[in-house]
Amino acid sequence: MIDERPCTAAISIDPLVRDLDGETERLRAEGPLARIELLGVPAWSVTEHAVARKLLTDPRLVKDIDAWSLWTSGTVTRQWPLIGMIDTGRSMFTVDGAEHRRLRIKTTQALTARRLDALRPAIERLTDELLDDLDAAGRDGVVVDLKALFAYPLPMRVISELMGVDRADHPMLLAWYKAFFSLLTPQDERLRVIDELDSYFTDLVRDKTASPTDDLTSAFILADDGGEPLTEEEVVGNLKALVAAGHETTVGLLLNTLRALLTHPEHLSRLRDGDLEWKSAIEETLRWDTPVTHLLMRFATEDIPVADTVIPKGDGVVLSYRAIGRDTTLHGPDADTFDPTRPTSHRHTAFGHGPHICPGAALARLEATIALPALLTRFPTLALAVPVEEIHNLPVLTQNDLESFPVRW
């Protein structure tokens, strides 16, 4: 069944991200489940922590786009600007149950605690390289964009080394991803970019098939773990999703943590004095200023009662992680305050929950715990070069993606 209530009755999610705090407050005010409009398409938004955790483990909510009545009826087509984030081909991110486990196992094996410990020296090396470049660019008080010179290239280089993506291709990939995520990109151009990304990653998989190397993409191709091997489409799907998610969310984590600390100097001082752990600051940022604002999308395979509402079969469900992170029923009336000493900071869903929890969560945390202390140790007088009110989000509906992050020291 399709909910035929007009979209004017729903909260419209602003594609230009002009008032993220206001949007978060409006969503929370609707209760645990809010009716929203995503660029003309109705959906449900989950806004409370307990409800999110329950629904993220509910087998009646699936990732299969063919369970979405608006898609199967033709109401939503490839011309909808957000379709590229949902109809992404077959991968661990778009299937459920046993097939999801089969497609995900190699990623989880590659990102165990032991494997992450082995990655630490490489992340430290890449961090030092970028800090040297940053030092050269920002001498004599010159204002530099920390996003362009540090927060973007670090996670992109880390995930690229892990997956076997050539560093020389980063500028091209950056341009493609920027066009893909921006809601100002005309849809015909976005569809062209999607085709270019598909072609690029398909060629990469075919190259790795012919000449495997020591990377996760080759592991996807070579290993079947005694079960059904991954198809080329499945390897490509895993690869392109991991590269996108593996850098975009970490960029947000790095910049959001730094913005929080630079605008809350009392907590930054405690970090420097050793009275506060970096882990606490990072987890509080994940709760308070999530890298992902709205996660698209799951679909109800039957009517699902939630609080005093029913999600009808065939409807789409969005996880509004920023509203969930500021849930006052869990974090108290001061949930809108950044406080790394908060006892519930670690209780968030910024990386999801249940079977589809982000496989790269530990890697993102590792990058942040290496990069941020190194940055502030190298540049102890680092400061924003503009008032924080002048730092704006890009027109990206799903990520908390900043335009730039000008600093000086």
The pair of three-digit structure tokens given for residue 227, joined into one six-digit string? 């079960």
Give the chain's radius of gyration (CA, Å).
21
* Angle subtended at Cα 182 by Cα 291 and Cα 238, rounded to the nearest 5 degrees: 65
113-140 pLDDT, tens per residue? 998 999 999 999 999 999 999 999 999 9
Q: Which of 39, 390, 246 is nearest to 402 (CA)?
A: 390
Residue 372 sits at the vertex; the CA angle it makes with 164 and 402, to the nearest 5 degrees, is 75
d(CA 138, CA 132): 10
**Nearest to 207, CA basis, from 182, 175, 239, 176:** 239
* Spatial strand order in the sheet of 406-408: 144-145, 406-408, 383-384
Helix/strand/coil percent split, the chain, to 5? 55, 10, 35
255-287 burial, b if ≥16 CB within 10 A, otherwise e?
Answer: bbbbbbbbebeebbebbeeeebebebbbbbbbb
CB 233 within 8 A of CB 89: yes
Regions of the chain with pLDDT less than 70:
1-9, 223-227
- pLDDT reported for residue 225: 61
Can you give 361-386 as a three-state secondary structure string? HHHHHHHHHHHHHHHHHHCCCCEECC
* C-alpha 229: how far from chain center: 28
Backbone φ, ψ for residue 263 (5° rounding): -100, 0
Side chain identity, residue 318: V
pLDDT for 224 = 62
Coil, helix or strand at residue 211 = coil
Q: Give the whole-angstrom CA distance, residue 406 versus residue 360.
A: 28
Distance separating alpha carbons of residues 371 and 351, to the nearest angstrom: 19
What SS3 state is found at 33? strand
CA–CA gap between residue 134 and residue 5 (Å, rounded): 52
**Residues whose CB falls within 8 Å of the CB of residue 266, separated by 6 or more in sequence, listed in order:** none
Q: For residue 256, what are its two tokens?
A: 């959001």
Q: Give the pLDDT of residue 6.
A: 41
Question: Smallest Cα–Cα separation from 22: which of 296, 323, 297?
Answer: 323
Other beta carbons within 10 angstroms of residue 193's beta carbon come to 19
Q: What's the CA gap between 212 and 397, in Å, rounded?
A: 37
Measured CA to CA, the distance from residue 404 to residue 108 in angstroms comes to: 32
Cβ neighbourhood burial of 212 (10 Å; 0-12, 13-18, 19+): middle
Locate 61 and state its tokens.
């909510």
Give yes or no for a contact between 107 and 359, defined as CB atoms under 8 angstroms apart: yes
Residue 273 in tokens: 């004095």
Question: What pTM was estimated for this model as a whole?
Answer: 0.95
Residue type, 289: D
What does the mean pLDDT of the chain come to?
95
Span 258-308, pLDDT tens digits: 999 999 999 999 999 999 999 999 999 999 999 999 999 999 999 999 989
Q: Which DSSP category does 152 fall into?
A: T
**C-beta of residue 332 within 8 angstroms of C-beta of residue 218:** no
